């Protein structure tokens, strides 16, 4: 039976990866998404803002992130985004900067700053110029390939571009498939490649939203909030498009008027030139020079 629960809804996302009892899911997710191996792997993690369903009871469409710190002092910030607004790129950088700045207290040495890694799961495509699912943004000099710092890393995962038709072979593919198609997964029988202990536990968390009345209510509130957001976004985009069409029509009309005025002025000049030529011909026929020389005026240079 389908779960009918969308893991991209804020409260579900945070319940899966932001609960104290689900630290194993969070560590697996981080290692899989970031490709961390050997000494770089996350082996211990503290969730800085653990999930609490009471926080969401009155929430509607809020941006709920997960913040965690591993044993090496690295800070991780996880967010989901179901609709891409114009300012999303700036918002991602701003929220990363806020998290990074808060990693030390007032007056503490800057050397105590540790790497901050942001991971954004995007339902829609934010970068249409590429088919890449996973984009990694860092600070470096492009001309000389010199890195300014390893402290900044913002990962954007475009779920829409993830090809989910093949068998999932890696943890990263399994997580991407879960967040892209989780609502339609069979909660009793997972497809080939998804049948792992970690994914089963994540699906179990999702299924609790159909069993726990309060959490189900929170989920429905946030999901309806997303529907309203999408509807308002559609109406806003429709209004923008109508305004654009009206503006283009007005510009076209103004251009036509300007072209008509230019043609009328050209026609007036042509008629005036023809009349001038006719008058000159009449003067010549009468024996009068139509272009007489002007005698010089004494004491001037005019001729």
Looking at the predicted structure, is the pLDDT value of residue 147 above 90? yes
pLDDT of residue 141: 94
Q: For residue 133, what are the contacts with CB-CB under 8 A and spacing of at least 6?
A: 157, 158, 159, 161, 162, 176
Q: Is the pLDDT of residue 59 over 80?
A: no
Averaged confidence pLDDT in the chain:
84
Category of 47 on φ-ψ map: left (φ > 0), alpha (ψ -120 to 50) or beta: beta
Tens digit of pLDDT for each residue in 251-289? 888 888 888 899 989 989 988 888 888 888 888 888 888
pLDDT band at 62 (very low <50, low <70, confident <90, very high): very low
Name the band, by pLDDT with cuts 50, 70 and 90, for residue 60: very low
Indicate the pTM of the whole model: 0.69
pLDDT at 51 exceeding the cut of 90: no
Greatest pairwise CA separation for the chain in angstroms: 113
Partners of 80 in the β-ladder: 121
Greater model confidence, 226 or 44 = 44
Average pLDDT over residues 63-84: 88
* Mean pLDDT (whole number) for 36-53: 89
Is the pLDDT score of 222 beyond 50?
yes
Higher pLDDT, 1 or 79: 79
CA distance 83 to 233: 9
* Distances in whole angstroms, Cα of residue 2 to Cα of each of 75, 171, 207: 35, 21, 9
Residue 20 and residue 47 in contact, taking contact as beta carbons nearer than 8 Å: yes
Q: What is the pLDDT of residue 234?
A: 54
Of 131-140, 202-211, 232-241, the range with the highest mean pLDDT is 131-140
Percent of the chain with pLDDT over 90: 44
Q: What is the DSSP string of 69-100?
A: EETTS-EEEEEEESS--TTHHHHHHHHHHHHH
Average pLDDT over residues 178-188: 88
- C-alpha to C-alpha distance for 97 and 153, rounded to whole angstroms: 11
Minimal CA–CA distance to 32: which of 203, 201, 206, 177?
Answer: 177
pLDDT at 18 over 80: yes
Query: What's the alpha-carbon Rg for the chain, to the nearest Å?
Result: 34
């Amino acid at each position: 039976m389908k779960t009918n629960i969308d893991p991209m809804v804020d409260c579900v996302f945070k319940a899966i990866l932001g609960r104290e009892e689900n630290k194993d899911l969070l560590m697996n997710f981080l290692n899989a998404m970031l490709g961390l191996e050997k000494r770089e792997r996350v082996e211990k993690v503290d969730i800085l803002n653990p999930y609490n369903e009471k926080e969401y009871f009155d929430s509607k469409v809020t941006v709920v992130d997960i913040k965690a710190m591993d044993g090496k002092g690295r800070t991780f910030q996880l967010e989901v985004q179901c609709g891409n607004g114009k300012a999303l790129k700036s918002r991602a950088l701003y929220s990363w900067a806020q998290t990074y700045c808060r990693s030390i207290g007032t007056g503490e040495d800057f050397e105590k700053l540790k790497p901050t890694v942001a991971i954004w799961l995007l339902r829609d495509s934010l970068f249409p110029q590429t088919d890449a699912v996973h984009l990694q943004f860092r600070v470096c000099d492009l001309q000389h390939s010199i890195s300014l710092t390893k402290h900044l890393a913002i990962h954007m995962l475009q779920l829409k571009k993830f090809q989910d038709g093949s068998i999932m072979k890696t943890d990263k593919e399994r997580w991407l498939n879960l967040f892209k198609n989780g609502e339609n997964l069979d909660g009793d029988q997972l497809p080939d490649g998804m049948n792992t202990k970690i994914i089963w536990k994540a699906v179990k968390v999702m299924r609790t939203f159909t069993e726990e009345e309060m959490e189900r209510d929170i989920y429905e509130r946030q999901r309806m909030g997303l529907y309203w957001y999408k509807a308002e976004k559609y109406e806003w985009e429709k209004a923008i498009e109508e305004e654009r069409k009206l503006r283009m029509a007005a510009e076209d009309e103004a251009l036509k008027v300007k072209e008509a005025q230019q043609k009328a002025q050209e026609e007036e000049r042509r008629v005036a030139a023809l009349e001038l030529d006719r008058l000159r011909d009449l003067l010549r026929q009468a024996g009068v020079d139509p272009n007489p020389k002007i005698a010089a005026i004494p004491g001037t240079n005019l001729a």
